[in-house]
A and B are shown apart, each in its own frame.
Chain A
């Protein structure tokens, strides 16, 4: 009998229904750790921890039922005195018994049976149950939902008959607990002789009242971990609250699927002398747990099997050691060696952990979660996600610090001291001679004997290209550019071809897999600017027993790159020719094509046997090869072969005995390599892609480079592309990406996926192995035609995915539809417009889109007369145009859209390029929606204040998880002005918002912008992918007003081709999932849902409405109306119709008119009216969410769509008639509670008359975005830059909450004594911010942390003076602020485009990455701390200060001294001449050159924006 996992048992989350899948829920949170070094336990530690928890409330969330939190908990030492007093029975001496809470079934009989079962297992494990105690709880304090799911909570005490204590007892308790959970399905928050966990579905404020135990003065500990959870669902799950047994975690493990699979694979080889028979405990990782729960289970295993807790943490979350230059060799060897035992658990993480005496915390390699700590003179250590969670007298604080990327912070409560990162890691690194083990065992590819390169004939290459379905487009568009430049090619304008699931052309298997990407709950990475934390190196070969480190574990082949050349793979194939290195076994991945699917499946089974045999004969390297296909034998699709073998080996417990290398002919784009690695490959050899490139060089189709160079470029392009795909998901190392399966399948049957791609989600079902075999056979036939002469001139199929071709796949926009759309809107002909929509809709019905498969069920409701339907003017209000920046499209194109939308009462969108003030204030030309994207270009108080809607772009359909770039030649002077940047200097939009690394961060940004403009609706733009429903629910809980679901296929100015085609899903899926999940969670009524992505017709609108969308966005279609003819060259600035270009010559060719755009939207609305009338609705509002009026029963006769099951889109869970399908109420933004109301009322004189005011107030960390609302009031009253600096001076004392001074405009000065959290001065718009330690602080300011991470993000002007050290990413994307600080963390000045940074102390790594403007003066800067690539490329120069620099620096230092009393500034100014020499100027080359050209022009009386100056600039910046 299978036992329900306790995670499912004590949760009310519904089972998988419709598109909702509880497995996709995500969480993030706030956490804190409190410990004392004084050596004695006390209740004060519990109190302090609970206070800290209370002050983290804003980092958690509550669901639809206001009383039900997402979970909170506390972990402490066993409070022996207390337990002894309340147990009601005799307990052995402290340390000789284990205790813990137990979550039991509420049914008394069941509970009794469980307890009896527990006692039996205890006996088997040589433990004695001493007794049970009913834990007093107060359910009345809980919310309804939490109470309904509440288990019976008891406490159990176990002792040993043989007086065992210490870790021995822990191990027995562990076995008991694991077995109890596996066999009985009850949940043990903990069972230990050292620690105890109290947790539940409570809010932070409810934890203590719910568990009165916690208030008992006798309840004492020297340490405590607390945690507040923010879950994306609203379904209480008691066991998923943190802390777990050893850790609490804030963040998300992106690679968890792979980590779990690898752990499962390792189980067969796990053996431990001390833990006994592990089979009884398996699986080690409990199904349905969260990522944090799984992480905890593995840490615990590593720890109990004999490693120290810090050692286990170092294995699971290694720092970014691979590219670190100054790391000590022993430590590097430690990491290097352990990388062969286990892949990193990769993702944003702040983890606090304890074994009962040590407490510690560590941060992921990217430092993507905050952690701040203080230490008092009496030994109290408080570490939390935020500073200020506990009110401590500043005079007692002797040290303030922060967690740093990859670093560990440890307090030993027994010895009463802090252990720093270096000490603990050196000690662990010295435990074994890891380096020697590596030296003696590791195999380096370059040390294997060289192989002779093999050349293939042109006809052989061509034959095999056909076999694998290559097209001329593949060669022309994908391979040739990669071979030429070493980078993946870029395309534009989205994708409008059918997805593989419904395509009527044979597609390669890769096309059915869609990349997942990070959105909201975790951030994507910037693999270019932050390459330093990434790693493409991996090793291939057998792993040993994870629980026992031996030298032999290092016997693996180490690779620096996951893509192998043909010669490299040949080396591995022949490895056995060198004795002692193990043997390689090559699997022939071929099958008899005439046997069809049966032969294919049979061959895979046969391969399993061959592989088993090979492993039994000690093969260590498996090469899965499809090289030798012929007329009879066709290749098995490499992805199928790889995943099938990978999962077979996992299932049979052999996976870690071998390394998998794939020699695949079908691989020709980045996505293919990524998919193979994602499904278990360690390395991939794209042999045919390489041979194809060789051939193209020989044929002169790739010119100017050698064959060798082309091959190298191809490998580089593919590998770097994989890195980029990984980073979209927030994964930094290829070793953890391997097997991580961060893909979803679309159009594959569940059975097929379960068999060969176990664990992959396939929401709609689809084809199975029969069709795969059929598609494969079709390709094979074309390679071996009955007669060559018939198509003698056709080298390959033409393709047509990227550019339209008649013989290729259909495109929604093709010559006919483009022409008809343009002609109908220009001549205002509804009749021709109908031709256009008919053509689009007919295409759609012919299997272009999922929505095309639906029919509308007219007649279910009586049709009504069209006259009764709401007018066009009402419907068009729901329309908006897409976010296209001024910069990506021309001024003419941008304004024409705005004018049209304003005329209609609809909305246009600024995109991410800001908006000129003159347009901002012009009611006809303004854009109602102002976008806030990761580059924050032009996001000022003014911009936000004048928005109707503020749209936070979390992702973009065409390239979710990626940033963008505006190349130098498109940054014309007028674009630069709007973006607050420099003409001719390229601009970068980072992949992540650097103030959104998790859901609670998004909540923070929503909070901030809502305070920058209370009247505006805040949108959050998401891209459709599996799991978007839970993300949307989280976003609703984060208080967005509008959730926008974008399809994957939306347009863009520029995107890597793999992203256009292979990331994200159609909006039909995402919208339906979002609607269903929001409704399931009871959150739908508080948000508006918008949709966009290749929407073109009235039918599209109606389908979207019925699926639940209230508003509709259009981008490509109105651009086509304006004249776009889908050149798809937006990235080249050569748009021949003046739409997507800044080139004045081409802009002159723009012919679009607002009238045409108005016609388009009115036509659309008219069509919508007609559909409404036929469906029987008077208004669009009535129709929203009525998916029952969509029908998919229309015979789907298509050979492929046959197996597709659309019912999850339509059916979903059953909802009552009264459950709201649309927004019915609004979010409670709690605006009235904001701190700034005090400021606004105190500043009335300034706000009305501009008179100076001074305000003094205390502040705490729960006061977030202080100053923002005041700034909004000021901007409303006076506009930008109207009041003199410091008209309003606000003096604050205490710890400021997040986003201190966000978007504060000129005229306001915030001066804080104390310290502040993350995002100080976000979007600073002219204001001044001063932060200095409290005047009573005894410590040296310059050695302590004064403010958190990501300071001055996207700031445009103003000043900041920060006395002390700040966290990571100081002044990221600053474009104008002048700021002084006394030390910074990693990645400072990232993407900075303007302004001045003065850094008076130590810097972290990777300073100036992507910095393209502004200047920094850094005291004693170490060159190795500066971004290596920028220095190497000469993009950044380091040098001495010139006279003007010195003057600037001096004046800023004087001001810093005056504002903060800085001792450092005083010392430097006191010895100015000498100290000046210690400063290094960091200056971007192009920026400096452009400034000097423009200055020269001005001096010479020439307009710096003139054509001649512009061409001079371009000459310089293009290099």
Chain B
């Protein structure tokens, strides 16, 4: 650590500024202004290089945060990206999309604003791409073993890269028309422009990874077939089954899952022409669910020209400060102001949706009541119902597990009670040669967990195929964040 007193000299956080709302909602580009490298370095200098870096624990990837903070502070960008890539295949994704449990665990955060770890991370990788330091790394010899990775989200891609570098021949299958999974169609461009995915895929491709988009395993090829074609299969299909809200009026036109909406929105931004796109233009939009997906819907609807956007969340408004019940270094639920929240719309809390109201089969509004807590359950309080007008209702209520019907049926892989694919301590399913990583095994989680699992599963597969492995194994399937 270059400056042990850095945290005493610079006591405030400073992150890149978001572009003015009025301007940014007119385009789909990322909301942040260009980063001031001097600010990033100063912020990196606030890192205390802790004897026990809780950030490094808070990050499932085990990012060597104090080390690349120091290297950034010293302006050693090339060493910094090496140290960052040592644990993280895709820092340009996590640096933009991760909710940063590392920052919640930052020791400085006990009594000061935490170090801007995510900001440092993204600046390291952006600089590295700019300077051409990100190059493909081809293996010197091939093992002759082949692996199919099903799903091209962060878990699948991380595993694919690790396996390819270990000398295996890897094919990545994606049922959508483009590679990237949730990264590509779940994340709007204003959060991450797709060029970041494309240039990373170019690296993977150069390293020998083969991409097969538009192939739906279980339909186009059966899981059984896949198993027989490859020496190992990694299921990284995500937890894509959306949580539904089965209340009266659910069948009405205009009530959609958020992910369907976002996928179409992203395709449109990518230049695809779509028939009957779910679109918010000129509409009153209601988003159910106060999470990140909800915010993505807000930002998208705003840019599509919605007349209003209202978020309804069933629970209380989270506190802005860490509550006693969620002490440092646990990951607290806090009231967040995402870029989309700054831009447009309202957020209503303690709102229990009781019915979708419609006319002519089309949704016209949502009937909500105040939430009341009875024995810890959230119930609508009788007599408080009102109807909020809406032309478009988006369900952003999370996911309930893997879409595993064909998998189970065709390969015999088992699901657990929570709808995830079961696995042992080394990511192996009950079917020989079939492994699972990411949300498909863990359930809905963060991108850093997905990448970490992808890396770990790659090590497990490498060991399965070769008897030994030199690949890192950052997380066990059972690992969970520190909590009470």
Contacts and interface: CB of A to CB of B under 8 A. Distances in A.
B24 interface: no
Residue picked from B57, B58, B474, most chain A C-beta under 10 Å: B57
A333 to B, nearest CB: 50
A144 interface: no
A804 B111 contact: no
B365 interface: no
B4 interface: yes
B53 A819 contact: no
B165 A1137 contact: no
B49 A803 contact: yes
A916 B108 CA distance: 32
Contact of B82 (A700, A788, A795, A811): A795
B67 A476 contact: yes
A1255 interface: no
A787 B139 contact: yes
A1112 interface: no
A472 B67 contact: yes
A164 interface: no
B48 to A, nearest CB: 6
Interface string B126-150: 0000000000011111000000000
Contact of B52 (A793, A818, A1132): A818
Contact of A1132 (B4, B56, B471): B4
A253 B83 CA distance: 50
B433 interface: no
A214 B310 CA distance: 111
A805 interface: yes
Contact of B329 (A472, A792, A802, A819): A819
B137 A792 contact: yes
Contacts of B51: 492-493, 802-804, 1126-1129
A1136 interface: yes
A1021 to B, nearest CB: 25
Nearest to A826: B327
A1210 to B, nearest CB: 33
A729 B79 CA distance: 41
B240 to A, nearest CB: 30
Interface in A781-810: 782, 785-795, 798, 802-807
Interface in A402-454: none
Interface residues of B, number: 50
A700 to B, nearest CB: 6
A1188 interface: no
A728 B52 CA distance: 29
A806 B482 CA distance: 14
B404 to A, nearest CB: 31
B4 to A, nearest CB: 5
Contacts of B111: 1136-1137, 1149
A798 B105 CA distance: 21
A828 to B, nearest CB: 14
Nearest to A832: B484
Contacts of B484: 823, 832
A351 B366 CA distance: 101
B470 A791 contact: yes
Interface string A808-820: 0001011110110
B165 A787 contact: yes
A815 B8 contact: no
A667 interface: no
A809 to B, nearest CB: 13
Contact of A789 (B7, B8, B105, B166): B166
B64 interface: yes
A1326 B7 CA distance: 45
A789 B4 contact: no
Interface in B458-477: 470-472, 474
B334 interface: no
Interface in A1315-1338: none
Interface string B1-18: 000110110000000000
B43 to A, nearest CB: 16
Contact of A1125 (B107, B137, B167): B107
Contacts of A1125: 50, 52, 54, 107, 110
A699 interface: yes
A806 B62 contact: yes
Interface in B79-124: 79, 82-83, 85-86, 105, 107-108, 110-112
B162 to A, nearest CB: 8
Contacts of B140: 787-789
B225 to A, nearest CB: 29
Contact of A804 (B8, B52, B86, B137): B52
B324 to A, nearest CB: 9
A967 to B, nearest CB: 13
B82 A815 contact: no
A785 B57 CA distance: 28
Most chain-B CB neighbours within 10 Å: which of A492, A803, A1126? A803
Nearest to B110: A1137
Nearest to A829: B484
Contacts of A790: 139, 162, 165-167, 470-471
B166 A811 contact: no
Interface in B220-261: none
Contacts of A1126: 50-52
B453 to A, nearest CB: 15
A493 B472 CA distance: 30
A476 B71 CA distance: 11
A1257 interface: no
Given A791-B471, A793-B85, A1126-B51, 12 more contacts: A476-B67, A789-B137, A803-B53, A806-B62, A811-B52, A815-B58, A816-B57, A823-B327, A1128-B50, A1134-B5, A1136-B48, A1136-B111
Interface of A: 472, 476, 492-493, 699-701, 703, 782, 785-795, 798, 802-807, 811, 813-816, 818-819, 823, 832, 1125-1129, 1132, 1134, 1136-1137, 1145-1146, 1149
20 contacts: A701-B79, A786-B141, A788-B140, A790-B165, A790-B471, A791-B86, A791-B470, A792-B137, A792-B165, A793-B82, A793-B85, A803-B66, A816-B57, A1125-B107, A1126-B50, A1127-B48, A1129-B51, A1134-B8, A1136-B111, A1149-B111
Interface of B: 4-5, 7-8, 48-54, 56-58, 62, 64, 66-67, 74, 76, 79, 82-83, 85-86, 105, 107-108, 110-112, 137-141, 162, 165-167, 207, 327, 329-330, 470-472, 474, 482, 484
